[in-house]
Structure 1
Amino acid sequence: MASQRILGLGVIAAILISIFSAIYTAMLLNEARENINRINNNINNLSENILRISALASGAISSIETLNSSIRSIERGISSINNTVSSLGELVRASTEPHVSVKYARLFQIAYDGPAKIVRDAEGQKILLIPRTLSAQKDIVSLYTSRYAPDHVIYTPVERVILMSATQVSMILRLEDECRVNIVNTSILGIMWGKQYTWYVPKISDMLDKGVLRDYGPADNPNVEMIIASKPDLVVIYTYAGSPVFRTLKGSGLPVVVDNEYLENSLLGRFEWIKFLAVFFNLDGCAESLFARVESTIDGLRQLISNRAPVESLRPVVAWFSVFGGRIYASSPASYVVDAITMAGGRYAFIDIPYGSVSQELVVSRSQYIDVLIYSTSKEYGPKSIEELAKALSFVKDIKAVREGRVYVFAPTYWQLGTAYPEDIIRDLAKIFYPDIQNLAGWVLRFFEKLS
C-alpha cells in the first residue's frame, strides 16, 4: 500500500512538472513572440528611417547639384565680367599709349580713335589698325569698321610680315635696336629680293642664305602664289609708275600697304616713314622718341655748322650727280639730296635748275665754283678713282673738286641703310664739307667714300 501511494504521488508530481513545463514553455514562446514583434517593429521603423534618410540624401544631392549649377553660373558671370574688365582695360591702355605725329612726310597719315589707328598709305589706302587683344571683341571691331570703311583691317602687333625693299628692312632693324625688341627673327617671313643685289647687312644676308628669311622673288615680279601660301598679315611694298605689283597683290586679297619713302623730298621726311612701320608693331611711342632724338641731333649739327660757317659765302658749293648713257642725272632742287646738302652746310651748285635738268655745258660753265663733287653711285657700279672718272667723263676734268681731289661716291651701305640713319648722312656730309671741323675730328665716313 505504501508503495502504491508513493507511485501515485510520483505520477502526480510528474504530471505537475509537465504542466508547469508546458506553462513555462508557453510563457517563453509568448515572450519570444513579443520580442520578435518588437524586432519587426524596430526593423519597420529602421526601414522607414532609411527611407526618410534616403529622401533627405536625394534632396541634398539635388540641392548640391543646384548649388553647383549656381556656382558654375556665377563663375561664368565672373569670367564674363573679367573679360569685360580686361577688354575695358585694354581699351584704356591702347587709348592712352603714346601717339606718333607726322611732321615732315607728305605721303602718309596716322590718326587715332580710342584704341584704333587709322593709317593712310602712299596709295591713299585707308588701313584700320586694331589691337590684337581686342580682335575677339566683335562689337568693337564692327563699330570701327562701319565708322571708317577701311581697305584693310589689320590686328596689331603684326606677326607675319613680308617686305619689299632694303630700306624697309633697315628701318625695321633700327626699330629693333632702339626699342630693344626682336622683329626680324619673330615676325618677318621674308623679302622680295630675287637675288638682284648684294646685301651689306650681315644679319640679313646670313638669314637669307640659310633660308630663315624667304626670298619671294624680285620686287618687280614677286612670286604671288608663294606670298599667298605664306598667309601674311602684312605685306609692305613700294610703287612706281607702270608697276602692276600693287594691283596684283591687292587683287589677290592680300593685306598690302604702300611705303613710298623714296618719294619724299626731305631727309627727315624719308626717315619719318619709320613711324609708319612702327605703328604696325605697336611701337608708336618708341618711334616717336627715336625720331625726336634724331631730329635733335641734326639740329645740333646744324648749329655747329652754322657756327663754323655763319654766312652763305663761307659754305662750299656742292654738285651731286651721276652719268648714265650719256645723260647727267642731277638732283632736283626740291629733293632730299638738296635738303641734306643744305642741312650739312653746303650750297647746291644747280639750285636754280628745275627738275635737275643739267647739261654738260652747264657743268663746265660752273666747274670753277664746285668745291665738292658727290658722284652718286658706288665703286661697284661706277669709277674707282678720280683718274677713272676723268677718263670716262672728260667734261668733269676741269671741275675744281676733281682738280683738288674732293670727289666722293656712295659707300655700299648707302642705299640699304642710309635712309634709316639720316643723322649719320649729315655727319658724313659735314665732315666732307668741313674736314677740319673740331666736333667731328674722330668721325669716320659711314655712307660715303673718297675717290683717290
Structure 2
Amino acid sequence: MNVVKSSCVIRFIIYGVLTLSAVLIQSCQRTTGKAETGGEISGRSVIMYAKRLSLVEKDIYSQIKVINPWQGAKGEEQNWYLVRDSADIPPFINPGEVIRVPVKSIICTSTTHLAMISAIGESGSVKGFSGTGFLYSKEYNDRISASTLNEIGYDDNLNKEMIIKLKPDLVMMYGVGGESASFAGKLREMGLKVMFNADYLETDPLGKAEWIKLFGALYSKEKTADSIFKGIEHDYKDTEAFIRKNAKEHPRVLLGLPFKDTWYISPGNSYISELVNDAGGYYLWCDTESDESIPMGLENVYIKALTADYWLNPGTAETLNQISSLDNRFAGLPCYRNGNVFNNIKRTNKQGGNDYWESGTVRPHILLLDLASILHPELFPGRELYFYRKLN
C-alpha cells in the first residue's frame, strides 16, 4: 500500500485523529429534567467518562443529548427521546425528537458505529454504510458480498434513493465540520431520523468506548452494553495501575507522519496522547492543547523527533523504507535506526480495512496493552501485539 493515502482513506483517518472540545461535564448522580409543562421528571445519568454524550434513563423514556457533535462545533446540542414501541409519547415531548426503540434497522457512516453494534449482537440491523470498501469485519464483508449491506455514498454524494429504499429507523452520522449539518438536513427533509455520533471527538479512551451505552439504549440492550463497558473499564484501569506502579522510565514518543511538508501533530489533550500517557510513555507534544490537529513545519518536528525513543502510527507505512522514501533524513532518527517504529496495521485486509479503526473503539484496554508492551516490553514478556506491528 502506498504511504500517500487515497482520498477515501484520508476520510477514515480524519475521524481517527482525535480532537478535544469538552464543554459539558456529566455526573453519574441522579439528575432532574424539566418538561415543557413545567413539571420535573427525575432520572439517572449513566455516563461517566464521555464528554460529548449525555444519557439519562427515566421511568418512561430515555433522554439523549449529543453535545458539539462535529469538529469545531460550539454550543451545538442535539436532543433525542427514546420511547419504547409499545409506549405512548409523553405530551411534553416533541414527536420529531422521538426515536422508537428498540431500533430494528439502521444506516451508519463510521466503522466505530459498526463495532459497537456488533459488540451488542445487533450487526444484522445495519442495512447501509458509507464506505463499504474499507471494512475489516468478515461478517460485514460477507453481507456486502451477499448484497444485504449496501453502500450509501459520502456526504453530498449520498445515494438518497438507496437510503429511502432501505427505510431505516435511524441514520447515524459523524461530522468533520459544520457542513455535516446540511447533509443531515437533506436527509431529515426526506422524513428520516438522523442522529450525530461524536465518539471520534472524545479524548478519554474510556469516554470513547462508553458510547456503546448509546447503542445499548437504542436497541433496548442497556444491561448488555453496561456489562461490556464495565469489563472494558476494569481491564483498562487494572493495566493502567500496573504500569504506573512498575514502569521505571517514560520513553519519549513520536506520533504520525507528515503530509507533503506539513506534520499534523495530535495535541497533548488528544485520545492518542492519553493512551500513550496511560501506557507509561512521554508524548513529545504532551504540553500542547487544541481542538484539532496542529500543523507544524517538517523542520521543527524533525528537530524534536531526534529525541524520540519510539515512533508510533506513521500513517499507512508498512516498512521502514516507505518512511525514509518520503524524506531520507528520517532514516537518521535514533528511533528509526534502533528499529523502534511500530504501526497500527497488524489487523488489515487486502482492500484496506483496518480493525484499529473498527473494533479498536471498543477495545481501548487492548490498545493500552499493545502500547505498554511496546514501550515497556520488560513488563509484558512474550505478549504478542494485537493491533500493532513492528516495521522492518
**TM > 0.5 fold call:** yes
1:241-294 alpha-carbon deviations (Å, 9 max, x no partner): 123321111222201111121111221121111111221001112212221221
Q: CA deviation at 1:347?
A: 0.7
AA aligned opposite 2:389: E
The structural deviation recorded for 1:100 is: 6.4
- Structure 1 distance, partners of 2:139, 2:155, is 20
Aligned residue pair count: 329
Alpha-carbon distance in structure 2 between the residues aligned to 1:227 and 1:170: 21
Aligned to 1:128: 81
Show structure 2 runs of 5+ residues with no match: 1-42, 70-75, 349-354
Name the counterpart of 2:112.
167
- Paired AA for residue 80 in structure 2: I
Alpha carbons 1:101, 1:288 under 8 Å: kept = no
Residue 184 of structure 1 corresponds to which residue in structure 2? 123
Corresponding residue for residue 84 of structure 1: none
Q: Of the candidates 237, 258, 276, which is equivalent to residue 323 of structure 1? A: 258
Find 1:105's aligned residue among 28, 41, 50.
50
Give CA-to-partner distance per residue, 1:357-399, whole Å, 9 cap, x none.
Answer: 4333333332342111013422xxxx33223312322342332
Once the two structures are TM-superposed, the CA of residue 148 in structure 1 deviates from its matched residue by 3.3
Q: 1:416 aligns with which of 358, 367, 373?
A: 358
Alignment of 1:315-354 (within 5 A): 315-354=250-289
Distance 2:335 2:364 in 1: 24
**2:332 partner amino acid:** D
Q: Deviations 1:191-226 (Å, cap 9, x if unpaired)? A: 122x5x432211111100110212222355221222
Letter in 2 for 1:429: L
Larger Rg: 1
**Residue 6 of structure 1 corresponds to which residue in structure 2?**
none
CA contact under 8 A between 1:127 and 1:152: conserved in structure 2?
yes
RMSD (Å) for aligned C-alpha atoms: 2.0
Aligned counterpart, 2:198: 260
Check whether the contact 2:45–2:57 (CA below 8 A) recurs between aligned residues.
no
Aligned pairs for 1:115-154 (under 5 A) are: 115-121=60-66, 122=69, 124-134=77-87, 140-141=88-89, 144=90, 146-149=91-94, 151-154=96-99
In the other structure, the counterpart of 2:25 is: none
Which residue of 2 is the match for residue 224 of structure 1? 160
**Greater percentage in helix:** 1
Partner of 1:297: 235
Corresponding residue number in structure 1 for 2:383: 443
Q: Counterparts of 1:157 and 1:342 in 2: how far apart (Å)?
A: 38
Higher relative CO (CA 8 A, sep ≥ 6), structure 1 or 2?
Answer: 2
Which structure dedicates a bigger proportion of its chain to strand?
A: 2
Contact 2:45–2:54 (Cα < 8 Å) also in 1: no
| Cα distance in 2, alignment partners of residues 117 and 267 from structure 1 | 24
Deviates more, 1:364-373 or 1:201-210: 364-373
Confirm or deny: 8 A CA contact 1:191 1:215 kept in the other structure: yes
What is the TM-score of this pair, normalised by structure 2? 0.79
8 Å CA contact 2:254, 2:305 repeated in 1: no
The equivalent of 1:396 in structure 2 is 330
Q: Structure 1 pair 332/250, CA: closer, same or farther in 2 (3 Å)?
A: same
* SS of 2:332 mapped into structure 1: coil
CA drift of 1:237 comes to 1.0
Matched residue SS, 1:358: strand
CA contact (8 A) 2:269 2:288 kept: no
- CA contact under 8 A between 1:100 and 1:284: conserved in structure 2? no
Q: Which amino acid aligns with 1:396?
A: F
Shift of 1:340: 0.7
Gap change, CA 1:271 and 1:424, over 3 Å in 2: same
Contact kept? 2:130, 2:151, Cα under 8 Å: yes
Contact kept? 1:126, 1:151, Cα under 8 Å = no
1:220–1:319 distance in 2 versus 1, CA, 3 Å: farther
How far apart, CA to CA, are the structure 2 residues paired with 1:315 and 1:110? Answer: 37
C-alpha displacement at 1:354, in angstroms? 4.2
In the alignment, structure 1 residue 386 sits paired with structure 2 residue 299: no
Give 1:166 deviation, angstroms. Answer: 1.2
- Which of 364, 367, 374 is equivalent to 1:425? 367
Residues in 2 aligned to 1:155 and 1:231: alpha-carbon distance in whole angstroms: 14
Partner of 1:201: 137
The runs of 4+ residues in structure 1 deviating greater than 6 Å are none
TM-score, with length taken from structure 1: 0.69
Trace 1:52-91 onto structure 2 (pairs within 5 A): none
SS of the counterpart of 1:377?
coil
